[in-house]
Structure formats: structure tokens, C-alpha cells
């Protein structure tokens, strides 16, 4: 007779190996999130990864402490990597916010200057900054002529255009930014145009 009883010392089939999916997920998300967090712009993808990595890693640790799952070290490493990734993300965000805030407070002093012999030039100047854009026009009765303005923000632009009248003459325009002349142009004759654009 063939006896198929269980050998001594064994009480049935071997126990199923318990897995800790939370610890593995926390580790993978933490590692990928940390790598992405170090890359500018692409690091935005890291935010949800590292946050989920902390959550899953913590859940994995809870399962280990309850004794229902292994891989304590994997769960700890997942939480640590995710926390490091989160710190890098916060540092990037703080740095960018500081940069943008500083540039938003940045004020540029611009001086438009017109010189020459023209009797009736038409002066058109435009500015663009955080406060918006504006274009103004003046008919100068005498030269030299100048106008001081301030432009706020990171993105700034300006333009100065002078047109002589029918009487002609010579005109020279200049744009002075924070005390430094950045653009000049000269024109002469009837209805001549001198243009100084940008910084």
C-alpha cells in the first residue's frame, strides 16, 4: 500500500511567500522621482512620483511592522529616496520663485534722447514691461529733447522713432538704459526716419 502522508515535521503545503508591493512601489517611485527631480523643467514630473513614493514606502513600513510583509529595508530606502526627491523639488520651486520675484521687482531706467537740427520732428516712443505696453507721440518744438521712463519686470522692450517734417534737417536718436547708451541712429532730409529699437 502506498502511503502519501505528510513527512514528519511538516503540516501541509509550504506557506505562501508574502510580498510587500507597497515597499517595492515606494522604492521604484522614490528612485525615479529623485532622478527626475534633479533635471530642470522635467523635474515637474517628479512631484507626484516622490509624493506617491513617500506614501507607498510608508504603507510598506506599516505592513512590515505589523509582520504581514517583508522587505523593511526596501521600504525604508523608498521613503528616503522619495524624501530626498521631495526636498530637491521644493528647492527647485523656491529657487524659481525667488528668481521670478526678483525679476518682477527689477526696474530699468530708460532715457530717450533726440538731438539735431530738424525744426518740427515727430517723436514716437513705445515701452513694454510687466505694467503693459504704451505708445506715445510728441511733436517737438525744439531740440534737444529727452524723456525719462521706468520699465518694470523681466521682459522689457522699448522703441524710439523720430521723423523729420517737410523742412528736413538732421536728427539723431539715442536710447540710454541704466546710464549706458544702447542704441543710436541718425537720419537727415525731409521726412527722414531715425529709429532706435530695443535695448
Lowest mean pLDDT among 8-17, 86-95, 114-123: 8-17
CA distance 98 to 92: 10
Residue-wise pLDDT for 83-115, tens only, equals 999 999 999 888 887 776 665 567 888 899 999
Gap between the Cα atoms of 17 and 25, Å rounded: 18
Are 104 and 153 in contact by the 8 Å Cβ rule? The answer is yes
Distance CA 113, CA 125 (A): 11
Asked if the peptide bond before residue 144 counts as cis, ω within 30 degrees of 0, the response is: yes
- Euclidean distance between CA atoms 15 and 8, whole angstroms: 16
142-170 residue pLDDT tens: 899 999 988 887 777 888 999 998 888 99
Q: Which residues pair with 186 in a beta bridge?
A: 172
Residue 180 has pLDDT above 70, yes or no: yes
Give the mean model confidence (pLDDT) for residues 13-29.
79
- For the chain, what are the domain ranges? 21-104, 107-197
Alpha carbon dihedral 135, 140, 145, 149, in 10-degree steps, equals -20
In this predicted structure, the answer to whether residue 14 has a pLDDT above a threshold of 70 is no
pLDDT at 6 over 60: no
Residue 120 gets which letter from DSSP?
S
pLDDT over threshold 60, residue 7? no
Instruction: State how far the Cα of 61 lies from the Cα of 57, in Å rounded to an integer.
Output: 6
Amino acid at each position: 500500500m502506498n502511503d502519501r502522508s505528510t513527512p514528519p515535521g511538516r503540516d501541509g503545503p509550504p506557506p505562501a511567500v508574502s510580498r510587500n508591493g507597497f515597499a517595492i512601489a515606494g522604492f521604484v517611485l522614490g528612485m525615479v522621482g529623485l532622478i527626475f527631480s534633479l533635471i530642470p523643467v522635467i523635474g515637474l514630473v517628479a512631484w507626484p512620483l516622490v509624493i506617491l513614493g513617500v506614501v507607498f514606502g510608508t504603507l510598506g513600513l506599516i505592513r512590515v511592522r505589523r509582520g504581514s510583509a517583508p522587505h523593511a529595508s526596501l521600504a525604508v530606502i523608498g521613503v528616503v529616496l522619495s524624501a530626498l526627491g521631495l526636498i530637491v523639488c521644493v528647492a527647485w520651486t523656491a529657487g524659481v520663485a525667488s528668481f521670478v520675484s526678483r525679476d518682477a521687482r527689477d526696474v530699468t531706467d530708460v532715457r530717450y534722447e533726440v538731438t539735431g537740427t530738424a525744426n518740427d520732428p515727430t517723436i514716437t516712443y513705445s515701452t513694454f514691461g510687466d505694467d503693459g505696453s504704451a505708445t506715445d507721440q510728441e511733436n517737438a518744438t525744439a531740440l534737444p529733447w529727452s524723456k525719462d521712463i521706468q520699465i518694470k519686470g523681466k521682459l522689457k522692450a522699448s522703441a524710439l522713432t523720430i521723423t523729420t517734417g517737410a523742412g528736413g534737417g538732421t536728427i539723431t536718436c539715442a536710447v540710454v538704459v541704466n546710464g549706458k547708451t544702447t542704441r543710436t541712429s541718425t537720419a537727415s532730409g525731409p521726412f527722414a526716419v531715425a529709429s532706435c529699437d530695443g535695448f
